[in-house]
Structure 1
Amino acid sequence: QRLAVDPHEPSLSVAWELEGVLQLLPYELASDTLRRFIFHLAAVESNKGAIITMEEPEAHAFPTYTKLLAERIALDKSNQYFITTHNPYFLLSLAEKTPARDLAIYITYLHGRETRAKLLSEDELADLMDLASAVFFNLDRFLKDVLEAPGP
């Protein structure tokens, strides 16, 4: 599938070829998943040397698109990303494809009345990967040392 732009019309279409005939679907009629995927992919592909923030880019997306977007981000060498997610498939796809030297995963948690963030070590990152899809059900494993420490 491709995004089609008609310079004579103020609209976008999703385009694909079927049996040698170009098919067009108005962008507004495309699924939410496809529209969100196009939006996030445009952010990845149209920026170079940028800092890009995304809040749950996998939200309301079919798993295939979640994995594909995570992998495109992971393989992008020209931008820096700050991403929040609650989706293990997005997180694991991103972590598997991103070179370790380019990856920092933080777990946010509430300590007293403060939101804090803990950077995972290389060993903790390996443990996180072993948890697979159960990662978000086991975040307490990574927070024992900080939750037991006295607060301010």
Structure 2
Amino acid sequence: MKCPLCGSLDDKVLESRQNISGTSIRRRRECNSCAYRFTSYERIEETPLMVIKSDGRRQPFDIKKIERGLNRALEKRAVPSVTIENILNKIEDEAAILGKASHEIPSIQIGEIVLKKLYELDRVAYIRFASVYKKFNDVAEFVNEIEKIED
């Protein structure tokens, strides 16, 4: 490990500790050249989950984008923030499971997961989200979706 003070590559490990979840190791080190002490961390490098957009572009999965969409759909609805957090966790887990093999998931699948969760939680929020997600162009599409809910 390169010393942040003098740049030497000669150091020794004084102490190693694993974090509680076991996902990283913290090491206290001392440079053999200048005696400077510093900390390094080791983590498993995971391939990030990529979202395949409808136009073929790929971008990293971002739960914050889904959170913004949910918050818009649930605006002025009586849904506690704890419930929203739980839904976000479930969406993230489902997306990770579906994309585990290839580290990719189509945005369509993510949208369907969100729609399913909103349908179970709040039908008005479901319609709000569906109107944007399914790109409703006129009132007839709203009516058709509402009729599906009522059936």
TM-score by length of 2: 0.29
TM-score by length of 1: 0.29
Pick the structure with more strand per residue: 1
Higher CA-based Rg: 2
